[in-house]
Amino acid sequence: MIRRATRRATLVVLFAALAVLALACSGEANERNKAGVSQMIVGAEEEAIVEFDGAINADSGMAIAYYNRGQANFKLERFEAAKNDYGQAATIDTGSSLFKTKLGDAYVALGQYEQAVQEQNQVINSDSGFALAYYNRGGAYVELGRRDEAIQDFEKSVDLDHRLGITNNVSGRCEVYDDIHPKDVVFRDCRDLFSHASRFSAAYEARGLENYVNGEFQNAIRDFDQAIRLDSSSDLYNSRGLAYQGLGQIEEAFEEFDIALGKFGFAPAYHNKAKLLYELGEYQVSAKDYTQAITLDPLFADSFVGRALAYTQLERDKEAILDIDQAAALGVDRAELEIAIQEIKNLR
H-assigned helices in 42-78: 45-58, 63-75
Is the pLDDT score of 186 beyond 90? no
- What pLDDT is attached to residue 275? 98
Three-state DSSP string of 122-163 = HHHHHCCCCHHHHHHHHHHHHHCCCHHHHHHHHHHHHHHCHH
Percent of the chain at pLDDT above 90? 79
Are the beta carbons of 109 and 79 closer than 8 angstroms? yes
Work out the average pLDDT over 51-59: 96
Q: Is 197 helix (H, G, I), strand (E, B) or coil?
A: helix
Q: How confident is the model at residue 5 (pLDDT cuts 50, 70, 90)?
A: low
Q: How confident is the model at residue 142 (pLDDT cuts 50, 70, 90)?
A: very high
pTM over 0.85: no
Domains and CATH numbers, the chain: 1-71 (1.25.40), 95-230 (1.25.40.10), 261-347 (1.25.40.10)
CA 320 to chain centre: 44
Q: Higher confidence at residue 221 or residue 41?
A: 221
Residues in the chain: 348
For residues 44 and 36, give the distance between their C-alpha atoms in angstroms, rounded to a whole number.
9
Residues 6+ apart with CB under 8 A from 185: 30, 33, 34, 37, 64
- What pLDDT is attached to residue 287? 98
Q: Write out pLDDT tens, residues 86-112.
A: 999 999 999 999 999 999 999 999 999
| DSSP string covering 233-301 | -HHHHHHHHHHHHHTT-HHHHHHHHHHHHTTT--HHHHHHHHHHHHHTT-HHHHHHHHHHHHHH-TT-H
For residues 39 and 222, give the distance between their C-alpha atoms in angstroms, rounded to a whole number.
43
Q: Is 169 helix (H, G, I), strand (E, B) or coil?
A: coil
Question: To 10 degrees, what angle do helices 63-75 and 2-41 make?
Answer: 20
Q: Write out pLDDT tens, residues 278-316.
A: 999 999 999 999 999 999 999 999 999 999 999 999 999
CA-based nearest residue to 125, from 159, 100, 145, 154? 100
Is the pLDDT score of 19 beyond 50? no
- What pLDDT is attached to residue 13? 45
Work out the average pLDDT over 183-190: 75
- Could you tell me what percentage of the chain is helix, strand and coil, using 3-state DSSP and rounding each to the nearest 5? 80, 0, 20
- What pLDDT is attached to residue 1? 53
- What pLDDT is attached to residue 302? 98
